Amino acid sequence: MSELKVFSIRKNIHEDNKMVADETRAALREKKAFMINVMSSPGSGKTTMLVATVRALKDQMRVGVIEADVDSDVDARTVQHAGAKAVQMHTGGLCHIDATMARAGVDELDVEDVDLVFLENIGNLICPVGYDTGAMKNIAILSVPEGDDKPLKYPMIFAKVDALLISKIDTLPYFDFDLEVLTTRVRELNPDIRIFPISSKTGEGIEEWTTWIREQMEGEING
We report the CATH number of the domain holding residue 164 as 3.40.50.300
Whether 186 is in a domain gets the answer yes
CA atoms of 202 and 96, how far apart (whole Å): 30
In this prediction, residue 153 has a pLDDT band, given cuts at 50, 70 and 90, of very high
95 vs 195: which has the higher pLDDT: 195
Domain count for the chain, please give it: 1
For residue 163, the Cα-to-chain-centroid distance in whole angstroms is: 10
* Rounded to 5°, angle at Cα 191 from 188 and 194: 115
Provide the domain limits for residue 121: 5-218
In this prediction, residue 176 has a pLDDT band, given cuts at 50, 70 and 90, of very high
Whether 223 is in a domain gets the answer no
CB burial of 125-164 (b: ≥16 within 10 Å; e: otherwise) equals bebbbebbbbbbbbbbbbbbebebebbeebbebbeebbbb
In this prediction, residue 69 has a pLDDT band, given cuts at 50, 70 and 90, of confident
In this prediction, residue 55 has a pLDDT band, given cuts at 50, 70 and 90, of very high
- Which residue from 128, 116, 107 is spatially nearest to 83, judged by alpha carbons? 116
Whether 138 is in a domain gets the answer yes
Whether 175 is in a domain gets the answer yes
